[in-house]
Amino acid sequence: MKRPKAIVLRGTATNCDIETANSFRYTGAEPELVHINQLLAGEKKVLDYDLMAFPGGFSYGDDISAGKIYAVKMAKLAKDFERFIKDRRPVIGICNGFQILVKTGFLPENRGNAQVATLYTNDCGHFLAKWIKLKVNPKSPCIFTKGLPAEIELPMAHGEGKFIMEDKARLAALVKSELHALTYVENPNGSMLDIAGITNAAGTCFGLMPHPERNFFPWQNPDRPAARAAEAAGFQFFRNAVEYVR
């Protein structure tokens, strides 16, 4: 069977691209690292791929706010990205990638792709890097989290991870629709309603602050009993997306 093609998008100071590409490779896809400037120059086309990932890092130095400059660059290619998402091709934004999806308006999903949320400075006021426990919402349509245990562990590494929506009605609608795919067991950054990751209604566009590509092999987990598990949580995230395309 032909391996699905995955585009892993890069920018200046993206630093989790290789790990994310390898996660797709190990789960049966054929990843390609593509810089946003290659898309802008017409050297590569988003719609030539089956899956898409916005990996973590500090794109453009997190200047203005995390993910904002990358989102501005993406605006010039908005129609292609919109088409990709409307076609229900899987998209994952991890950490800085989640920040990008929020600041492009692709998440939370809304008409016109307006930015209706943000990821703000952690309540503690500084960068946090540690392993955290997460609740998986079994009612969420998210294809990436299907079949995961009720509780998982992933590492987080961010300074601007506090999920905020000023419009309480929009936030209530998001939760009512079960689009909060992941929530923190113990909220590390002050996110509203403990939200760690959200999806669109189709379940194919997903953003989260923790890093599934960093808990891809069981031995990466510092908890030795968890390290004896047959499959790590991160592996399941990427496998779900690849199998969905197949």
- Residues contacting 23, CB < 8 A, separation 6+: 212, 213, 216, 234, 235, 237, 238
* Rounded Cα–Cα distance for residues 74 and 36 (Å): 8
231 catalytic residue (yes or no): no
Helical H segments across 105-221, by residue range = 168-176
Q: Determine the number of helices (DSSP H) and then strands (DSSP E) in the chain.
A: 8, 11
211 catalytic residue (yes or no): yes
213 catalytic residue (yes or no): yes
- Tell me if 189 sits within 8 A of 123, measured CB to CB: yes
- Tell me if 91 sits within 8 A of 52, measured CB to CB: yes
Q: What's the half-sphere exposure (Cβ side, CA atoms, 13 Å) at 123?
A: 9
Q: Does residue 115 come out as left (phi exceeding 0), alpha (psi in the -120 to 50 range) or beta?
A: beta
* Rounded Cα–Cα distance for residues 29 and 23 (Å): 9
- Residue of 109, 142, 160, 211 marked active site: 211
142: which DSSP letter? -
- Residue of 95, 109, 153, 180 marked active site: 95
Catalytic sites, residue numbers: 95, 211, 213
